[in-house]
Amino acid sequence: MKPERQPGQSPLTPLPPSSARPLLLCFSHLRWNFVWQRPQQLMSRLARDYDVAFFEEPLFEERPDAVLDTQTVAEGVTVLLPRLPAGLDEAQVAEAQRQLLDTWLAPQSLTSLLLWYFTPMSMTFSVHLQGQMVIFDCMDELSAFRHAPARLTELEHELLARADVVFAGGYSLWKSRTQRHGNVHLLPSGVDIAHFAKAREAQPEPPDQAGIARPRLGYFGVIDERLDLALLEALARQRPAWQIVLIGPVVKIDPATLPRLANLHYLGARPYAELPAYLAGWEVALMPFAMNESTRFISPTKAPEYLAGGRPVVSTPIHDVLNRFDGNGAVLIGATPDEFIAAAEAALQLAREPWQVVEKVDSLIKNMSWDSTCELIREQIECQR
pLDDT digits (tens, 9 = 90+) for 224-254: 999 999 999 999 999 999 999 999 999 989 9
Higher pLDDT pick, 191 / 149: 191
Please check the confidence at residue 133 and state whether its pLDDT lies above 50. yes
Does residue 127 lie within any of the structural domains?
A: yes
Q: 124 and 108 in one domain?
A: yes
Banded model confidence at residue 326, pLDDT cuts 50, 70, 90: confident
Q: 280 and 360 in one domain?
A: yes
Please check the confidence at residue 360 and state whether its pLDDT lies above 60. yes
Higher pLDDT pick, 52 / 324: 52
Q: What are phi and psi of 295, to 5 degrees?
A: -115, 5
Tally the domains of the chain. Answer: 2
Does residue 16 lie within any of the structural domains?
A: no
Percent of the chain with pLDDT over 70: 95
CA distances from 317 to 49, 123, 143, 332, 351 (A): 38, 34, 21, 9, 21
Banded model confidence at residue 10, pLDDT cuts 50, 70, 90: very low
Q: Is the separation of the CB atoms in 344 and 334 below 8 Å?
A: yes
Q: What is the CATH number of the domain that holds 321?
A: 3.40.50.2000
Number of Cβ within 10 Å of residue 253's Cβ equals 15
The pLDDT tens digits for 97-131 are 999 999 999 998 888 999 999 999 999 999 999 99
Percent of the chain with pLDDT over 90: 77
Banded model confidence at residue 8, pLDDT cuts 50, 70, 90: very low
The pLDDT value recorded for residue 7 is 38
Does residue 7 lie within any of the structural domains?
A: no
Query: For the chain, what is the radius of gyration of the CA atoms?
Result: 22
The pLDDT value recorded for residue 9 is 40
The pLDDT value recorded for residue 342 is 98
The pLDDT value recorded for residue 22 is 95
Task: Give this prediction's pTM.
Answer: 0.86
Does residue 270 lie within any of the structural domains?
A: yes
Q: 309 and 215 in one domain?
A: yes
Q: 221 and 185 in one domain?
A: no
Q: 150 and 179 in one domain?
A: yes
Does residue 169 lie within any of the structural domains?
A: yes
Q: 67 and 160 in one domain?
A: yes
Q: Which of 5-19, 105-119, 138-152, 181-195 has the lowest mean pLDDT?
A: 5-19
Does residue 81 lie within any of the structural domains?
A: yes
Does residue 290 lie within any of the structural domains?
A: yes
Closest CA to 227 of 249, 243, 211: 249
Q: 254 and 164 in one domain?
A: no
Does residue 2 lie within any of the structural domains?
A: no
Please check the confidence at residue 72 and state whether its pLDDT lies above 50. yes
Q: 305 and 245 in one domain?
A: yes
Q: 161 and 230 in one domain?
A: no
**Residue 181 per-residue DSSP state:** -
**Whole domain around residue 235: which residue ranges?**
193-365
Q: 171 and 56 in one domain?
A: yes
The pLDDT tens digits for 157-207 are 999 999 999 999 988 889 889 989 999 999 988 999 999 999 999 999 999
- Cα–Cα distance, 31 to 119 (Å, whole number): 12
- Burial label for 118, CB within 10 Å (0-12, 13-18, 19+), is buried
Q: 152 and 117 in one domain?
A: yes
**Residue 305 per-residue DSSP state:** H
**CB neighbours of 182 closer than 8 A, spacing ≥ 6?**
none
Please check the confidence at residue 94 and state whether its pLDDT lies above 50. yes
The pLDDT value recorded for residue 117 is 98
Q: 212 and 73 in one domain?
A: no
CA distances from 254 to 251, 278, 295 (A): 8, 25, 19
- Cα–Cα distance, 181 to 165 (Å, whole number): 8
